[in-house]
């Protein structure tokens, strides 16, 4: 479109908030002199749209500028052969392992680093020593001791028993001790010879430790009624640190929040447990034939062809099992390929169900399984395994198809969840009477999706959790949101919807940190590392990039970095590289600052082109005049003054006494005809179009630039939504004026009508402003809140009805 015309304000009336009359503007020819007019907007010094320069590392041959692994990309490998015994009498883990470590880096390594995670629970760990907090008058003894002992996700670990690893030996394969130095949760093993490129080294370690009550990531749950334990065993063996092109050794201490950085490898694990236990673990069991009963084996065969979960151990059998304790042992042999970790669960109380299904319709069957104590029913039997399969299916659409042969959900705890390759420990427990609140049910389904979903981030797309929590939790919470929405319509997902992050984005800035903050320093952990990045991705998908471009790029990231170690820049760069959308401003705002979105529709000015048509101009003039004369004095004078002098006496009247200035005269028509002749065809069309021009002044009060989404409610009752990209702020990120032409007259403008940009103050989003919603208050009587467990109430009602019938 060529711009032949420019238009300028003729009528400089003040902003017409009631919006009754437009300001009239006249057509003028565009002359070079008008360039000065354009430059009236105040330019702000503004780096919002500058490309991320120093914030991202310089691309190199390990990691390219496109976000893909480079031609020299390398990663290490560690294979483990482990024999472990679970001591059910003392709740101890006793293990021996042979580690084969492969150096594919270009660098010779004279020492290697091994992680001893359980040492976090020792009294001298950074976690224990760096705890802060004062005394308050009503402290429990647990809280008091918690001031100085290591903590867990769920509170303080009981340190009455010795905690941490007891390392029995570190030897080479000839049986000679290797010099090793333990620095809290890290152990350096000095190699007799440097390990050069493409060489491997083998060594063996023996260890043991006392397990703790389930503390959020692993441990046991004790059941007093039958004196049995359910065991959930994780980060239970000395594991290799990551050595890479970015950090060298990632040997940052395990302080508690920053989870794990681990290398891929192959595992052979022999797990010895009481012979009445059922074991599930990362990988595939190699000796089901030996460890299972004939009936269990038959049921597994059935489950391998089923499309609904089949019970391998029933609730009745689990209850029966828990009545006695066998003192015989049995060894379950597991193998897992290309995994970054290994975990298992073991108990004589487990109910076990499974199905092996063709999840992706490609002929490859994958086991979905669950183990749970009877305390998990009826929820677990009804939902868990189906939710596992659903997770694999939906994540497969947004990332890659699940490559492993099995995925397991274990009911480990009333609340929370924790992820390991192929196996996860999850909460969500009904009341003892079998009823549950809707929250418990949704929470259980959500947590299973989340923890099984972690197979993709970080188990396969293997980011460094010790450094960046958001890279797995944020991306996973986003995929969890997508998966939940496919589980049930309008599933009330906790994280993902922009409106759900608003209260966090409104927080006191001193209580916030950018997403790009190391895991240990993050405050408001759930919002910072889960909610905000998940929301950011959802906004990219729905509002900034659109579903098609986003989905392609996100999938590309998953494909590029599956079974590799991505860093933040690899994600940022891939999302741009595969979509052709400049997102540097988005990463900068959402990931490197704590700013929020608050768009303020401060003012709207209404302009319409001066048609100069006397029929229109004079009619509008009359209407305005009539409105103008409707003052209180005039209204009262009409009755209070029966006659004026002029009315009473004809001789005081003249031409102007009856002149109507709003009547269209033949001269008016001639002048209009003459004017039309001066216009070209295009100009004439424009003048006759009757266009309205609305100039919206929008202020960016929150700091984060975002697309501008405007709903126009027209006088005729119809609506239209127009969208402008975030680049609308590229020359001035403080205040802009956007002019929207429309034939219809607008009654009201509303910004962000679908709550898609996490605007923290929607009271300034409408023009004219909307009245504030009332604050509701209750007459104080007594608590009459709705029940959180209507299922229980319904059951009580049912019982009462039954009693009445008797
Ligand atoms: Zn998680």
pLDDT per residue over 76-120, tens digit each? 999 999 999 999 999 999 999 999 999 999 999 999 999 999 999
Q: Of 10, 1, 40, 2, which is closest to residue 28 (Cα–Cα)?
A: 10
Sorting pLDDT into bands at 50, 70 and 90, what band is 787? confident
Q: Cα(327) to centroid of ligand 1, in Å?
A: 37
| Mean pLDDT for the stretch of residues 359-372 | 98
Measured in degrees and rounded to the nearest 5, phi and psi for residue 577 equal: -60, -40
Give the percent of the chain with pLDDT over 90: 79
| Mean pLDDT for the stretch of residues 574-581 | 98
Residues 6+ positions from 232 with CB-CB distance below 8 Å: 214, 218, 219, 220, 221, 343, 345, 410, 412, 418, 425
Question: Are the C-beta atoms of 701 and 598 separated by less than 8 Å?
Answer: yes
Sorting pLDDT into bands at 50, 70 and 90, what band is 234? very high
Q: Cα(524) to centroid of ligand 1, in Å?
A: 15
- Predicted confidence (pLDDT) at residue 602 exceeds the cutoff of 60: yes
As given in the structure block, the two tokens for residue 109 are 């390594």
As given in the structure block, the two tokens for residue 205 are 């370690």
327-348 per-position pLDDT tens digit: 999 999 999 999 999 999 999 9
- Model's pTM, two decimal places? 0.89
Residues 435, 412: Cα–Cα separation, whole Å? 19
Q: Cα(282) to centroid of ligand 1, in Å?
A: 18
Q: Cα(422) to centroid of ligand 1, in Å?
A: 14
Q: Cα(416) to centroid of ligand 1, in Å?
A: 10
Residues 223, 321: Cα–Cα separation, whole Å? 14
Counting every residue written for the chain, the total comes to: 806
What pLDDT sits at residue 799?
61
Q: Cα(156) to centroid of ligand 1, in Å?
A: 21
More reliable by pLDDT, 805 or 606: 606
650-693 per-position pLDDT tens digit: 999 999 988 999 999 999 999 999 988 899 999 888 888 888 99
Q: Cα(539) to centroid of ligand 1, in Å?
A: 20
Q: Cα(473) to centroid of ligand 1, in Å?
A: 5
Q: Cα(476) to centroid of ligand 1, in Å?
A: 7
Q: Cα(448) to centroid of ligand 1, in Å?
A: 10
What pLDDT sits at residue 41?
38
Cα→Cα distances 358→403, 410, 479, 597, Å: 12, 22, 21, 44
Q: Cα(526) to centroid of ligand 1, in Å?
A: 10
What pLDDT sits at residue 87?
98
Sorting pLDDT into bands at 50, 70 and 90, what band is 149? confident
Question: Are the C-beta atoms of 737 and 700 separated by less than 8 Å?
Answer: no
More reliable by pLDDT, 75 or 40: 75
Residues 420, 346: Cα–Cα separation, whole Å? 15
- pLDDT averaged over every residue in the chain: 91
248-278 per-position pLDDT tens digit: 999 999 999 999 999 999 999 999 999 999 9
279-295 per-position pLDDT tens digit: 999 999 999 999 999 99
DSSP letter for 788, please: S
Give the percent of the chain with pLDDT over 70: 92
In the chain, what is the straight-line distance between the N-terminal and C-terminal CA atoms, in Å?
Answer: 84
Question: Are the C-beta atoms of 336 and 284 separated by less than 8 Å?
Answer: yes
What pLDDT sits at residue 28?
54
Q: Cα(781) to centroid of ligand 1, in Å?
A: 42
What pLDDT sits at residue 688?
82
- Predicted confidence (pLDDT) at residue 36 exceeds the cutoff of 50: no
Question: Are the C-beta atoms of 497 and 538 separated by less than 8 Å?
Answer: yes
630-644 per-position pLDDT tens digit: 999 999 999 999 999
Q: Cα(182) to centroid of ligand 1, in Å?
A: 29
Q: Cα(296) to centroid of ligand 1, in Å?
A: 33
As given in the structure block, the two tokens for residue 468 are 């960046």
Q: Cα(421) to centroid of ligand 1, in Å?
A: 13
Q: Could you write out the DSSP letters of every residue in 742-785?
A: ESSPEEEEEESTT--S-BS-GGGSEESPPPPPPPP----SS--P
Q: What SS3 state is found at 345?
A: strand
What pLDDT sits at residue 434?
94
Q: Cα(731) to centroid of ligand 1, in Å?
A: 39
Q: Residue 113 forms beta bridges with which residues? A: 188
Q: Could you write out the DSSP letters of every residue in 198-263?
A: TEEEEEEEEEEEE--B--SSSEEEEETTTTEEEEEE-S-S-EEPPEETTTEE------SSS-----
Question: Are the C-beta atoms of 322 and 226 separated by less than 8 Å?
Answer: yes
Identify the weakest region by mean pLDDT among 24-33, 606-615, 719-728. Answer: 24-33
What pLDDT sits at residue 21?
61
Q: Cα(450) to centroid of ligand 1, in Å?
A: 6
- Predicted confidence (pLDDT) at residue 517 exceeds the cutoff of 80: yes
More reliable by pLDDT, 8 or 462: 462
Q: Cα(707) to centroid of ligand 1, in Å?
A: 30
What pLDDT sits at residue 15?
40
| Mean pLDDT for the stretch of residues 436-440 | 95
Question: Are the C-beta atoms of 138 and 176 separated by less than 8 Å?
Answer: no
Sorting pLDDT into bands at 50, 70 and 90, what band is 597? very high
Residues 147, 123: Cα–Cα separation, whole Å? 11
Q: Cα(802) to centroid of ligand 1, in Å?
A: 45
Q: Cα(202) to centroid of ligand 1, in Å?
A: 33
Q: Cα(268) to centroid of ligand 1, in Å?
A: 26
- Predicted confidence (pLDDT) at residue 42 exceeds the cutoff of 50: no
Q: Cα(454) to centroid of ligand 1, in Å?
A: 6
Q: Cα(284) to centroid of ligand 1, in Å?
A: 24
Question: Are the C-beta atoms of 92 and 210 separated by less than 8 Å?
Answer: yes
What pLDDT sits at residue 10?
32
Q: Could you write out the DSSP letters of every residue in 544-569?
A: IS-HHHHHHHHHHHHHHHTTB---HH
Q: Cα(687) to centroid of ligand 1, in Å?
A: 60
Sorting pLDDT into bands at 50, 70 and 90, what band is 800? low
Q: Cα(451) to centroid of ligand 1, in Å?
A: 6
Q: Cα(200) to centroid of ligand 1, in Å?
A: 33
């Amino acid at each position: 479109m060529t711009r032949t015309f420019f238009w300028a304000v003729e009528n400089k009336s003040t902003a017409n908030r009631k919006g009754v009359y437009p300001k009239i503007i006249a057509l003028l020819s565009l002359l070079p002199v008008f360039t000065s007019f354009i430059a009236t907007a105040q330019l702000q010094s503004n780096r919002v749209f500058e490309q991320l320069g120093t914030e991202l590392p310089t691309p190199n041959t390990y990691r390219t500028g496109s976000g893909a692994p480079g031609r020299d990309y390398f990663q290490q490998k560690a294979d483990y052969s482990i024999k472990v015994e679970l001591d059910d009498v003392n709740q101890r883990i006793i293990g021996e392992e042979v580690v084969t470590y492969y150096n594919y880096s270009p660098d010779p390594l004279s020492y290697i680093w091994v992680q001893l995670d359980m040492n976090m629970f020792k009294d001298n760990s950074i976690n224990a020593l760096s705890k802060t907090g004062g005394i308050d008058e009503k402290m429990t003894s647990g809280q008091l001791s918690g001031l100085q002992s290591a903590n867990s996700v769920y509170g303080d670990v009981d340190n009455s028993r010795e905690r941490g690893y007891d390392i029995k030996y570190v030897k080479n394969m000839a049986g000679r001790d290797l010099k090793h130095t333990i620095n809290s949760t890290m152990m350096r093993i000095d190699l007799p010879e440097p390990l050069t490129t493409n060489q491997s080294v083998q060594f063996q370690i023996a260890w043991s430790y006392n397990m703790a009550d389930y503390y959020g990531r692993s441990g046991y749950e004790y059941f007093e009624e039958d004196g049995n334990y359910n065991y959930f065993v994780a980060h239970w063996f000395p594991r290799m640190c990551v050595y890479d092109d970015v950090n060298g050794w990632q040997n940052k201490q395990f302080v508690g929040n920053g989870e794990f950085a681990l290398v891929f490898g192959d595992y052979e694990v022999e797990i010895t447990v009481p012979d009445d236990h059922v074991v599930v673990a990362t990988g595939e069991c190699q000796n089901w034939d030996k460890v299972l009963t004939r009936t269990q084996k038959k049921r597994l065969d059935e489950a391998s062809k089923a499309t609904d979960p089949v019970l391998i151990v029933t609730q009745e059998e689990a209850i029966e099992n828990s009545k006695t304790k066998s003192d015989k042992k049995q060894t379950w042999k597991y193998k897992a390929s290309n995994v970054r970790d290994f975990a298992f669960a073991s108990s004589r109380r487990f109910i076990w169900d499974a199905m092996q299904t063709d999840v992706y319709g490609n002929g490859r069957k994958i086991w979905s399984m669950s183990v749970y104590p009877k305390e998990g029913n009826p929820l677990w039997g009804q939902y868990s395994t189906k939710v596992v399969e659903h997770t694999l299916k939906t994540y497969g659409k947004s990332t890659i198809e699940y490559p492993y042969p099995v995925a397991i959900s274990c009911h480990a705890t009333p609340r929370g969840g924790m992820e390991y390759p192929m196996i996860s420990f999850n909460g969500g427990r009904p009341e003892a009477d079998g009823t549950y609140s809707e929250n418990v049910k949704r929470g259980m389904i959500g947590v299973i999706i989340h923890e099984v979903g972690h197979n993709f981030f970080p188990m396969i797309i293997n980011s460094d959790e010790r450094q960046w929590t958001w890279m797995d939790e944020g991306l996973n919470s986003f995929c969890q949101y997508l998966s939940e929405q496919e589980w049930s319509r309008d599933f009330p997902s906790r994280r993902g919807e922009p409106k759900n992050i608003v209260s966090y984005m409104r927080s006191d800035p001193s209580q916030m940190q950018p997403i790009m903050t190391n895991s240990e320093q993050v405050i408001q952990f759930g919002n910072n590392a889960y909610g905000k990045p998940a929301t950011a991705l959802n906004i990219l998908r729905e509002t900034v990039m659109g579903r098609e471009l986003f989905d392609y790029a996100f999938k590309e990231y998953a494909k590029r970095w599956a079974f590799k170690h991505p860093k933040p820049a690899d994600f940022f760069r891939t999302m741009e590289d595969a979509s052709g959308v400049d997102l540097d401003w988005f990463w900068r705002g959402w990931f490197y600052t704590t700013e929020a979105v608050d768009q303020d529709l401060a003012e709207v000015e209404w302009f319409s082109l001066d048609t100069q048509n006397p029929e229109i101009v004079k009619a509008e003039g009359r209407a305005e005049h009539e409105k103008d004369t409707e003052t209180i004095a005039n209204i009262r004078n009409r009755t209070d003054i029966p006659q004026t002098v002029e009315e009473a006496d004809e001789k005081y009247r003249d031409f102007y006494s009856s002149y109507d200035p709003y009547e269209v005269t033949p001269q008016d028509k001639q002048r209009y005809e003459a004017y039309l002749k001066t216009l070209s065809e295009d100009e004439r069309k424009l003048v006759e179009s009757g266009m309205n021009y609305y100039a919206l002044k929008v202020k960016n009060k929150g700091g984060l630039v975002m697309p501008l989404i405007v709903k126009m409610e027209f006088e005729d009752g119809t609506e239209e939504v127009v969208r402008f990209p975030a680049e609308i702020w590229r020359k001035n990120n403080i205040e802009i004026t956007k002019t929207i032409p429309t034939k219809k007259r607008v009654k009201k403008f509303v910004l962000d009508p679908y709550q898609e940009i996490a605007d923290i103050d929607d009271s300034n989003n409408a023009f004219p402003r909307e009245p504030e919603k009332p604050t509701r208050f209750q007459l104080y009587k007594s608590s009459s809140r709705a029940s959180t467990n209507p299922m229980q109430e319904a059951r009580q009602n049912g019982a009462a009805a039954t009693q009445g019938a008797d």
